[in-house]
């Protein structure tokens, strides 16, 4: 993938100025270049489809040659930047990723001709040789059409350290039958480079051992060791779970994958993760995940492990459930999907670790912010049938920086971001032009004490050095909704029986909240929770509520919670009023 990612006029800082200067530049971009902010989100999807160059690629396995789109922006093998460095060779796999990164050629190196069967054979031999490197034919389309029923994938499962160098080639499903492309099992490590993976389709109710009968509906084991149907992910041992997850790639617990300059497109999953379902460790670097679909959660990516998305684009994906772009865990209050709901309580537990199907993992989404090639990661134009049009998280840890989250839609709550019981950190993020049919057009932060009548943990969220603009919600909180999202309009925000204070705590620093629209609380709606504003400006937001049951606030509406402003924060020029209910130091 090339480094010609579009940024707004005057976009992210291109040098390494002091922190205060970087913050000023970032916020100024949002204030003076709102059109550019939204434009960046709009261009995210276009950038993800930058493969319109002409030419003809060979098609593997003697298929009739057909016009194919080569990847116009794929780099030549070994080509570096102006400083003589290949960015994939810079050793950026640091910290928790250890030394895992671009290892170059390792093990036995096999040249794979443009032939489908040759690819399957080479991968099988590489597994037997305890790992190695495959170099695909240049600009070839490998059309895999035979499903390995034992593994539920088109190719042999990855159980060693395997690197596949694509040379601009494509691996795609070419069959009426449904199957994913790659599966990485415990102990396996897959590296994909300069490759397109297309058309994978993960189907639920897959069973190993050559068509053994399914496990009983209550999830009890059988003598035949049949696979228990679960959409909630691999659970360890010899059982194969998550059979409907990961249309292009399924990474099981104990497995890992590194994608560098890879495109994942037009993949589908009947469960979670239209393109990727991760229960191990996945690093998506300088790549594009676009036009994928999941019937469950995570239209682009579903995560219950450790996920890092770096300088990449997750755009134009859809989910029937939560997380049109990325979903970190399943939402407990939303229920599971598919066969997981039928398997019973016992089948929801990991026999070893005791985790249930709602377990979430760790997600880091980052863009580049230094040098002439500085670019934002994008989560844009994704759609969720439930919550979290761009990003959804239920539990776990999520950090997002130097990223544009724009043009996403949620049929429920959280057009851009929906985070429940999650440690969430948004730093230097553009949240622009998102929409929720429910609450929180831009961002929803909710604690979740009310779910299942138990305390599931605190939701601690921080939004800093960011811009939240032009988002809309049909109900409350056009820009931000904080707290319990179950609010009844007809009650006039009256306390219902069994209500408790939500344990969501939100800190907003050095941030602009501007031009957002909702029924009430156009900029921010705080419901029975706590918000602290520091050096933050809430301005020119609009509330459209004409009801006489309660006060209307274009800027901030606080419903039985706590909103605190420091001396450098300002709530001004909102329509029809700046604040409603108790917001100290706010003047209408």
Residue 193 shares a structural domain with residue 322: no
Asked, for residue 68, whether it belongs to a domain, the answer is no
Digits of tens for pLDDT over the chain (588 positions)?
Answer: 333 333 333 333 333 333 443 344 344 444 333 333 444 434 333 333 344 334 445 666 444 333 333 333 333 333 343 333 333 333 334 445 545 555 678 889 999 999 999 999 999 999 999 999 999 999 999 999 876 656 557 799 999 999 999 999 999 998 888 889 999 999 999 999 999 999 999 987 544 433 333 333 333 333 333 222 333 444 443 345 568 999 999 999 999 999 999 999 999 999 999 999 999 999 999 999 999 999 999 999 999 999 999 999 999 999 999 999 999 998 654 333 322 222 222 333 333 333 333 578 999 999 987 766 678 899 999 999 999 999 999 999 999 999 999 999 999 999 999 999 999 999 999 999 999 999 999 999 998 544 333 344 455 899 999 999 999 999 999 999 999 877 765 555 554 444 556 678 999 999 999 999 999 999 999 998 999 999 999 999 999 988 765 688 999 999 889 999 999 999 999 999 999 888 888 887
**Residue 294 vs residues 77, 84, 259, 385: alpha-carbon distances, Å:** 33, 41, 20, 10
Selection from 496, 479, 474, 405 nearest residue 445 by Cα: 479
Look at residue 534 and give its three-state secondary structure: strand
Domain span including residue 448 = 1-49+291-333+360-486+500-588
DSSP 43: H
Residue 278 shares a structural domain with residue 295: no
Residue 217 shares a structural domain with residue 314: no
Look at residue 344 and give its three-state secondary structure: helix
Q: How many domains does the chain have?
A: 2
**Residue 508 vs residues 28, 340, 468, 536: alpha-carbon distances, Å:** 17, 38, 11, 7
Q: State residue 236 phi and psi, 5-degree precision.
A: 90, 180
- Cis status of the peptide bond prior to 436, with omega within 30 of 0: no
Residue 310 shares a structural domain with residue 413: yes
Residue 372 shares a structural domain with residue 512: yes
Contacts of 183 (CB under 8 A, 6+ apart): 151, 152, 153, 155, 157, 158, 246, 249, 250, 252
Residue 131 shares a structural domain with residue 195: yes
Asked, for residue 216, whether it belongs to a domain, the answer is yes
Q: Do the bridges between strand 161-173 and strand 132-136 make them parallel or antiparallel, or are there none, so unpaired? A: parallel
Asked, for residue 541, whether it belongs to a domain, the answer is yes
Exposure b/e, 384-413, CB count within 10 A at least 16 = b: bbbbbbbbbbbbbbbbbbbbbbbbbbbbbb
Asked, for residue 348, whether it belongs to a domain, the answer is no
Asked, for residue 78, whether it belongs to a domain, the answer is no
Q: Do the bridges between strand 423-432 and strand 459-464 make them parallel or antiparallel, or are there none, so unpaired? A: parallel
The angle subtended at Cα 211 by Cα 209 and Cα 212, nearest 5°, is: 70
Please report the pLDDT score of residue 406 as a whole number. 98
The residue assigned the tokens 């020029």 is: 573
CB 409 within 8 A of CB 435: yes
Whether pTM exceeds 0.85? no
Residue 381 shares a structural domain with residue 295: yes
Calpha distance 313→289 (Å, rounded): 6
Sign (positive or negative) of CA dihedral 110, 115, 119, 125: negative
Residue 215 shares a structural domain with residue 306: no
Calpha distance 467→457 (Å, rounded): 28
Residue 408 shares a structural domain with residue 542: yes
The residue assigned the tokens 């009548």 is: 453
Helix H or strand E encompassing 120: helix 116-128
Sign (positive or negative) of CA dihedral 489, 495, 498, 500: positive
Please report the pLDDT score of residue 562 as a whole number. 92
Calpha distance 411→255 (Å, rounded): 34
Domain endpoint, select from 285, 320, 351:
285
Output the six-digit token pair for 390: 């761009």
CB 565 within 8 A of CB 585: yes
Residue 194 shares a structural domain with residue 281: yes
Domain endpoint, select from 253, 285, 317:
285
Domain endpoint, select from 265, 285, 305:
285
Calpha distance 357→114 (Å, rounded): 41
Calpha distance 387→51 (Å, rounded): 31
Show the 3-state SS of 352-416: CCCCCCCCCCEEEEECCCCCCCCCCEEEECCEECCCCCCEEEECCEEEEEEEEEECCEECCCCCC
CA 144 to mean position of chain CA atoms:
27
How crowded is residue 77: how many other Cβ atoms within 10 Å of its Cβ?
13
DSSP 107: S
Crossing angle of helices 34-48/19-32, nearest 10°? 90
Percentages helix, strand, coil for the chain (3-state, rounded to 5) are 10, 35, 55
Asked, for residue 342, whether it belongs to a domain, the answer is no
**Residue 176 vs residues 144, 145, 179, 201, 262: alpha-carbon distances, Å:** 11, 8, 10, 10, 25
Contacts of 487 (CB under 8 A, 6+ apart): 439, 475, 476, 493, 527, 559
Burial class (CB in 10 A: 0-12, 13-18, 19+), 3: middle
Calpha distance 170→76 (Å, rounded): 16
Please report the pLDDT score of residue 373 as a whole number. 65
Please report the pLDDT score of residue 368 as a whole number. 81
Calpha distance 527→514 (Å, rounded): 20
Look at residue 260 and give its three-state secondary structure: strand
DSSP per-residue codes, 144-183: E---BTTTTBSS--B-SEEEEEEEEEEEEE-SSS--BSEE
- Cis status of the peptide bond prior to 576, with omega within 30 of 0: yes
Please report the pLDDT score of residue 17 as a whole number. 38
Residue 114 shares a structural domain with residue 4: no
CB 180 within 8 A of CB 154: yes
Residue 135 shares a structural domain with residue 169: yes
CA 372 to mean position of chain CA atoms:
26
Asked, for residue 529, whether it belongs to a domain, the answer is yes
HSE (side-chain half, CA atoms, 13 Å) at 88: 28
Asked, for residue 59, whether it belongs to a domain, the answer is no
Look at residue 226 and give its three-state secondary structure: coil
Calpha distance 579→525 (Å, rounded): 10
How crowded is residue 583: how many other Cβ atoms within 10 Å of its Cβ?
25
How crowded is residue 187: how many other Cβ atoms within 10 Å of its Cβ?
14
């Amino acid at each position: 993938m090339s480094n010609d990612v579009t940024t707004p006029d005057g976009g992210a800082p291109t040098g390494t100025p002091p922190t205060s200067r970087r913050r000023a530049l970032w916020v100024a971009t949002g204030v003076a270049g709102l059109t550019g902010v939204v434009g960046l989100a709009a261009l995210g999807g276009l950038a993800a489809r930058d493969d319109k160059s002409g030419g003809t690629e060979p098609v593997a396995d003697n298929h009739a040659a057909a016009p194919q789109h080569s990847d116009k922006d794929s780099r030549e093998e070994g080509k570096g930047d102006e400083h003589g460095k290949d960015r994939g060779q810079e050793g950026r796999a640091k910290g928790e990723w250890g030394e895992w990164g671009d290892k170059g050629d390792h093990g036995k190196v096999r040249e794979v001709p443009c032939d489908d069967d040759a690819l399957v054979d080479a991968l099988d031999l590489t597994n037997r040789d305890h790992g190695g490197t495959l170099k695909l034919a240049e600009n070839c389309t490998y059309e895999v059409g035979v499903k390995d029923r034992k593994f539920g994938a088109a190719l042999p499962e990855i159980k060693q350290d395997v690197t596949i160098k694509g040379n601009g080639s494509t691996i795609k499903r070419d069959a009426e039958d449904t199957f994913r492309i790659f599966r990485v099992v415990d102990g396996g490590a897959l590296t994909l480079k300069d490759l397109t993976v297309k058309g994978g389709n993960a189907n639920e109710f897959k069973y190993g051992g050559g068509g053994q009968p399914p496990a009983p509906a209550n999830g009890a084991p059988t003598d035949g060791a049949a696979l228990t149907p679960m959409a909630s992910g691999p659970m360890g041992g010899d059982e194969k779970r998550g059979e409907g997850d990961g249309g292009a790639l399924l990474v099981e617990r104990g497995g890992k994958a590194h994608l560098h300059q890879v495109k994942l497109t037009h993949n589908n999953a009947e469960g979670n993760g239209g393109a990727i379902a991760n229960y191990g460790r996945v690093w998506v670097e300088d790549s594009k995940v676009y036009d994928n679909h999941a019937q469950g959660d995570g239209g682009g990516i579903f995560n219950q492990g450790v996920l890092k998305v770096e300088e990449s684009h997750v755009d134009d994906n859809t989910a029937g459930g939560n997380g049109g772009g990325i979903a970190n865990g399943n939402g407990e209050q939303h229920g599971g999907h598919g066969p997981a709901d039928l398997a019973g309580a016992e089948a929801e537990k990991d026999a070893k670790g005791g985790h249930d199907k709602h377990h979430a993992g760790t997600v880091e989404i980052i863009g580049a912010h230094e040098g002439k090639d500085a670019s934002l990661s994008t989560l844009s134009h994704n759609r969720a049938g439930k919550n979290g049009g761009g990003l959804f998280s239920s539990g776990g840890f999520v950090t997002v920086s130097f990223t544009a989250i724009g043009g996403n839609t949620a049929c429920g709550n959280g057009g851009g971001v929906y985070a429940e019981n999650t440690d969430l950190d948004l730093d230097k993020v553009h949240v622009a032009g998102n929409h929720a049919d429910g609450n929180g057009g831009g961002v929803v932060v909710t604690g979740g004490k009310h779910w299942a009548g138990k305390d599931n943990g605190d939701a601690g969220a921080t939004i800093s050095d960011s811009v939240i603009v032009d988002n809309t919600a049909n109900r409350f909180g056009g820009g931000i909704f904080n707290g319990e999202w179950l609010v009844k309009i007809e009650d006039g925000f009256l306390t219902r029986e069994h209500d408790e204070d939500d344990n969501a705590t939100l800190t907003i620093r050095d941030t602009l909240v501007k031009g957002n629209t909702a029924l009430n609380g156009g900029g921010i709606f705080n419901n029975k929770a706590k918000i602290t504003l520091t050096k933050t400006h809430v301005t020119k937001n609009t509330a459209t509520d004409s009801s006489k049951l309660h006060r209307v606030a274009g800027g901030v509406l606080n419903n039985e919670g706590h909103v605190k402003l420091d001396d450098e924060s300002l709530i001004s020029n909102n329509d029809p009023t700046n604040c409603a209910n108790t917001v100290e130091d706010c003047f209408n």
